[in-house]
Structure 1
Amino acid sequence: MEELSGTLREIFSLLYFEEGEKTSTELGEALRMRGVNVDTRTVRYHLTSLEKEGLLKKNGRKGALLTQKGVEVARRILLQERFGAPSLEVERLLCEATIDPTQGKGNAIVNMVLLPEKHLSQALELLSHLAGSSLIISPLLDILSSGTRLWHTEVPFGSRGLLCLSSRNYDVLFRRAGIFCESSATGLFQIREGAPEGFVELLSASGSTLSPGELLIRGRYTSVYEAATRGTGYVTTGIKIFPAFLYNQARHVVDLLERIGISGVVSMGSTLPSEYAPVVSARNRGICLVHGGANYVAPLVEKGLTEELSIASGLYPLENMAPPETFLRR
């Protein structure tokens, strides 16, 4: 694709970071707010050109949205905007999530794997073995049918989308409680004979456009299924830090989530252990180690059932999710 004009780049940015269709009028107003003064006719011209290239599709008067091909192009040209943590993608999800731990409902941040439909029953059987494990944050999941779209991802024909909860929901509720929380790193965490041993590898969240947990799982570094069923293996775990003087408030957030069955915390402390000092600023920081939400679906990658994993891929109603046994009985 040829080098994009400033206007076209901004249109890509608006369509990529916003969910759902956008009309030419809405895009024109958003462009003017960004200091790009173009009329609606010019916006329509650009949308028509992008549609001809297969980069977006129009949905009548509702507006236009990027196709999967368009999403791939957007990720390439918006690389710098997506770099680092929190990226604009994650920031949007953190701001718009409405999960309510007192009611057990609201839009939560979810991870998704795309799975060939023929593997669905086997996948649910695998996940049922992990449903009671302390290595996952929740046994809740849901299944999207072919043609369903979750933010940038459309479930292709012949596939299903399996959703599970992201550990980023801890960040959502920390923020809502007035606690500045930073997910500073994710690592490969060793479990031996059912007990936590500690990190063997760490990846900074600030140096990638992909989640470190996603990289570890896709790279086949994890052995979550073995850790959950035999007691020894490697899982993903995140390091979240917060002001030390807010430890009691942070503990309250964790307790609220545990009441609705979301419990992935390995340990918490009001001071930062010395071994993590090189990873984060050690001054007056509390720490929370949380198992990665994608540990739940990691066995599907480990067993070769799928390669398509996306962490923090969108928002989904918590009340629509259920344990795997619910789907196995259907």
Structure 2
Amino acid sequence: MKEDIKVNCLRILRILSQADEPLSSREIAERLSTRGYPMSERTVRLYLARLDKEGFTKNLGKKGRLITELGKKEVEENSIFEKVSLLSSKIDRLTYLMTFDVHFKTGTVVINVSVMHHEVLKQNLEYIEAVFERGYGMGQLVTVFKAGETIGGITVPKDHIAVGTVCSVTLNGVLLHHGIPVTSLFGGLLELKSHKPYRFAEVIYYQGTSIDPLEVFIRSRMTDYSEAISSGNGKIGAGFREMPAESRSQVIEIAQRLEKVGLGGFMLIGWPDEPLLDIPVPAGQIGSVVIGGLNPIAIVEEKGHSVHSRALAALLDYERLFPYYKLKKYI
């Protein structure tokens, strides 16, 4: 395949991979245009015919096209350049796009999506609840997606269920909407002693990775949620943020409001120009430690079960969230 044809096909596949429903050639052309790649509907249809033939897309008639698993694999294998754009860019984009208003309790939040077999959720529900109960989850709210549903380009397979947890990037978005800029510095393994933050044992800076750090630590079996919820001396996922020193009082006020609506995620908020957990903070800034959104699901992998988790997976309306203790009605 010629290079220019391959590039255009990949652009179309990326758009389909990010859609939660089939798209028509007109819709694809419109989305290409907004991304700076103008293309006529007719040209899009020609590319789609090629993609259908190669098994990368599925023609659903008037409903439009869906990307196949083979198509998703093609996007993944050919997205090296996009990956190098790093996780920090995705954090900034979703921070800007989310619309949640803490006063009116409306709008979208950023969620993580974790897919597991239905029986796995049933067997591990008590551990998930324990993580939330100890305050190691990002707030108190979750959601579920049943088999056949698609969210963030992920379609839930038969006999499986997807649990959506609130991503800590939601905190960035809320603060930004109040005029407070946030710098996400790194994600790491936070060591606890007697249930209190002690130090960061391992960190991965967002500017240097294309994969969410917590995903890395979970898959590497470096977490210790079991001890964290029992003795209080384990390792959990957390992130480090920096904000203007002058915003400290307002940040604390917003954090309290977020707690009331089930989205509390701040573990520590530092003082101006002072290190936090031995992490140096630039002049004119304050540091903060925020809870990892994947924590409640990470314990399931820690127990040896197969879970496919994607951090910063999608934007979701706040109204679709519910308290974690209502998860039992879905098993």
TM-score by length of 2: 0.88
1:172-211 equivalence runs, <5 A: 172-211=173-212
Q: Which range moves more in the overlay, 179-188 or 263-272?
A: 263-272
CA distance in 1, matches of 2:243, 2:211: 23
Change (3 A) 1:146 1:31: closer
1:161-310 equivalence runs, <5 A: 161-269=162-270, 270-273=272-275, 275-277=278-280, 282-310=282-310
Q: Would you say the 8 A contact 1:222–1:234 is kept in 2?
A: yes
- The yes-or-no answer on 1:313 pairing with 2:313 is yes
Q: What is the SS of the residue equivalent to 1:147?
A: coil
Change (3 A) 1:68 1:314: farther
Offset of 1:17 from its aligned partner?
4.9
TM-superposition CA deviations, 1:255-299 (whole Å, max 9, x none): 22112132221211233418433xx7x232221110111111111
- The yes-or-no answer on 1:72 pairing with 2:61 is no
- The yes-or-no answer on 1:87 pairing with 2:89 is yes
Runs of 4+ in 1 over 6 A off after TM superposition: none
User: In structure 2, what is the equivalent of residue 55 of structure 1?
Assistant: 56
Q: How well do the aligned residues superpose, as a CA RMSD in angstroms?
A: 2.5
Q: Would you say the 8 A contact 1:129–1:229 is kept in 2?
A: no
User: In structure 2, what is the equivalent of residue 10 of structure 1?
Assistant: 11
Change (3 A) 1:173 1:162: same
Q: What is the SS of the residue equivalent to 1:191?
A: strand
Change (3 A) 1:267 1:86: same
> Partner letter of residue 107 of structure 2?
G
- The yes-or-no answer on 1:134 pairing with 2:135 is yes
Runs of at least 5 residues in structure 2 that lack an aligned partner in the other structure = none
Q: What is the SS of the residue equivalent to 2:208?
A: coil
CA distance in 2, matches of 1:96, 1:104: 16
Q: What is the SS of the residue equivalent to 1:236?
A: strand
Q: Would you say the 8 A contact 2:131–2:225 is kept in 1?
A: no
> Partner letter of residue 256 of structure 2?
D
TM-superposition CA deviations, 1:130-168 (whole Å, max 9, x none): 232122222322222111100211111121111111111
> Partner letter of residue 301 of structure 2?
V
Runs of at least 5 residues in structure 1 that lack an aligned partner in the other structure = none
Offset of 1:18 from its aligned partner?
5.6
> Partner letter of residue 137 of structure 1?
M
Offset of 1:120 from its aligned partner?
2.4
Q: Would you say the 8 A contact 2:139–2:259 is kept in 1?
A: no
> Partner letter of residue 314 of structure 2?
G
Offset of 1:79 from its aligned partner?
2.4
User: In structure 1, what is the equivalent of residue 328 of structure 2?
Assistant: 328
Q: Would you say the 8 A contact 1:79–1:209 is kept in 2?
A: no
Q: What is the SS of the residue equivalent to 2:207?
A: coil
Change (3 A) 1:122 1:54: same
| Identity across the alignment (%) | 26
CA distance in 1, matches of 2:39, 2:329: 55
Q: Would you say the 8 A contact 1:81–1:87 is kept in 2?
A: no
CA distance in 2, matches of 1:182, 1:66: 35
Offset of 1:81 from its aligned partner?
2.1
> Partner letter of residue 42 of structure 2?
R
Q: Would you say the 8 A contact 1:190–1:233 is kept in 2?
A: yes
User: In structure 1, what is the equivalent of residue 109 of structure 2?
Assistant: 108
Q: Would you say the 8 A contact 2:195–2:232 is kept in 1?
A: yes
> Partner letter of residue 273 of structure 1?
P
Q: What number of residue pairs does the alignment pair up?
A: 326
TM-score by length of 1: 0.88
Q: What is the SS of the residue equivalent to 1:210?
A: coil
Q: Would you say the 8 A contact 1:130–1:139 is kept in 2?
A: no
Change (3 A) 1:134 1:2: farther
> Partner letter of residue 193 of structure 1?
S
> Partner letter of residue 321 of structure 2?
M
User: In structure 2, what is the equivalent of residue 159 of structure 1?
Assistant: 160
CA distance in 2, matches of 1:35, 1:51: 24
Q: What is the SS of the residue equivalent to 1:271?
A: coil
CA distance in 2, matches of 1:223, 1:100: 34
Change (3 A) 1:159 1:248: same
TM-superposition CA deviations, 1:49-74 (whole Å, max 9, x none): 21233322344434334333323322
Q: What is the SS of the residue equivalent to 2:313?
A: strand
TM-superposition CA deviations, 1:188-208 (whole Å, max 9, x none): 110122222111111111122
Offset of 1:2 from its aligned partner?
8.0
Offset of 1:309 from its aligned partner?
1.4
